[in-house]
């Protein structure tokens, strides 16, 4: 079960002031592989807070999870698209991006969130509310007391490797809670990697295309299972690998210069 490590009541209740503000037109993309009931709870709560379109990508979870995805697709405003086999988080995000960009031509950004309960709906709304056309918005965890050492290690290593090799300094390079400007989402469709390293290359693509970065503090939720720990370590190592490739050679995706005019 998820547990809040760095809980701050004012952050947890943030949706009250979010609902009082004008939120830019965004769609929420949630990749999911063999999810639990947290996905259903999250999508229901998000729809109770906003009118954002929600795209859930079933990344080849299999027939065992068909009932859960059917329940999710039954929520008004939620679309479920399915991959026949597990293609990886990057591929799922790209499929979700492509669907949202085609289906919702007026949105200015795509907000990505995890399906496992690590991202609270209040924080997703805060990131969506900060969406703009000029910068990627990142939901940043604090990694204070209570977070497993291995999770801290992966973030610290990737943070400083990023800074050394790319000149990008971010507090949380591995966060999956992001608002991606529409134009950047279009560029990201050409990124060749399909698994966790996609999120690393997405940040490098943003820098290469001239987008800025904005970081918003969110609550740190730790999912207490071995899979999450392995993913954290793997994400940290792939972040370092992608940053090293960036330093050694030009990006492999086509770069389109971004203009604010």
**Residue range 129-146, pLDDT digits in tens:** 999 999 999 999 876 655
Q: What is residue 20's predicted lDDT score, i.e. its pLDDT?
A: 37
CA distance 206 to 212: 7
Domain carrying residue 76: 2-147+171-224
- The CATH number of the domain holding residue 214 is 3.90.550.10
Give the pLDDT confidence score for residue 237 in this predicted structure.
47
pLDDT-derived band of residue 151, with 50, 70 and 90 as boundaries?
Answer: low
Q: Is 227 exposed, middle or buried (0-12, 13-18, 19+ CB in 10 A)?
A: exposed
Whether 87 maps to a domain, the answer reads yes
Pair type for strands 178-181 and 109-112: antiparallel
What is the number of other CB atoms lying within 10 angstroms of the CB of residue 86? 16
The answer to the question of residue 156 being in a domain is no
In a domain, 246, yes or no: no
Tens-place pLDDT, residues 51-81: 999 999 999 999 999 999 999 999 999 999 9
Give CB contacts under 8 A, 24+ apart, made by 194-197.
194/87, 194/88, 194/89, 194/90, 194/91, 194/94, 195/88, 195/89, 195/90, 195/91, 195/238, 196/88, 196/89, 196/90, 196/231, 196/234, 196/235, 196/238, 197/90, 197/238, 197/239, 197/241, 197/242
Residue (of 141, 125, 116, 126) closest to 54 by Cα position: 125
The pLDDT, as a whole number, for residue 23 is 46
CA separation for the pair 107, 261 (Å, rounded): 19
Q: Is the pLDDT at 122 greater than 50, yes or no?
A: yes
Q: What is the mean pLDDT of residues 89-106?
A: 97
257 belongs to a structural domain:
no
Number of C-alpha atoms within 13 angstroms, CB side, residue 161? Answer: 22
The runs of H, that is alpha helices, within the chain are 9-12, 15-19, 37-49, 66-73, 89-103, 121-129, 149-166, 182-188, 197-208, 226-248
Asked if 12 and 40 touch (Cβ cutoff 8 Å), the reply is no
**pLDDT given for residue 153 in this prediction:** 63
Spacing of C-alpha 109 from chain mean position: 12
Specify the pTM. 0.77
Provide the number of structural domains found in the chain.
Answer: 1
Domain contains 259: no
Please report whether residue 132 resides in a domain. Answer: yes
Note whether residue 234 is domain-resident.
Answer: no
Q: Of 133, 110, 19, 132, whose CA–CA distance to 57 is shortest?
A: 110
Token pair for residue 132?
A: 């703009």
127 lies in a domain?
A: yes
Banded model confidence at residue 4, pLDDT cuts 50, 70, 90: very low
d(CA 228, CA 198): 17
CB-based contacts of 231, cutoff 8 Å, min separation 6: 196
**How far is CA 128 from each of CA 18, 131, 146, 164, 224, rounded to the nearest angstrom?**
9, 5, 27, 30, 27
Dihedral of alpha carbons 223, 225, 226, 227, sign: negative
């Amino acid at each position: 079960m998820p547990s809040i490590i760095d809980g701050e009541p004012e952050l947890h209740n943030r949706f009250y002031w979010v609902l009082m503000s004008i939120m830019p037109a965004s769609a929420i993309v949630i990749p999911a592989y063999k999810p639990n009931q947290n996905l259903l709870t999250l999508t229901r709560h998000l729809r109770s807070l906003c009118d954002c379109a929600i795209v859930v990508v079933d990344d080849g979870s299999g027939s065992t999870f068909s009932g859960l995805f059917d329940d999710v697709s039954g929520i008004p405003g939620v679309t479920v698209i399915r991959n026949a086999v597990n293609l990886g988080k990057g591929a799922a995000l790209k499929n979700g991006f492509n669907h949202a960009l085609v289906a919702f031509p007026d949105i200015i950004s795509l907000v990505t969130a995890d399906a496992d309960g690590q991202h609270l709906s209040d924080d997703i709304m805060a990131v969506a509310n900060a969406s703009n056309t000029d910068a990627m918005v990142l939901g940043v965890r604090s990694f204070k007391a209570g977070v497993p050492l291995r999770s801290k290690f992966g973030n610290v290593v990737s943070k400083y490797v990023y800074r050394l090799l790319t000149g990008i300094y971010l507090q949380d390079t591995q966060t999956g809670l992001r608002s991606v400007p529409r134009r950047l989402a279009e560029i990201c469709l050409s990124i060749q990697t399909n698994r966790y390293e996609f999120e690393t290359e997405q940040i490098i693509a943003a820098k290469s295309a001239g987008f800025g970065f904005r970081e918003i503090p969110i609550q740190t939720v730790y999912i207490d299972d071995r899979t999450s720990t392995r993913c954290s370590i793997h994400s940290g190592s792939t972040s370092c690998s992608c940053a090293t490739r960036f330093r050694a050679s030009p990006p492999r995706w086509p770069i389109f210069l971004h203009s604010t005019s």
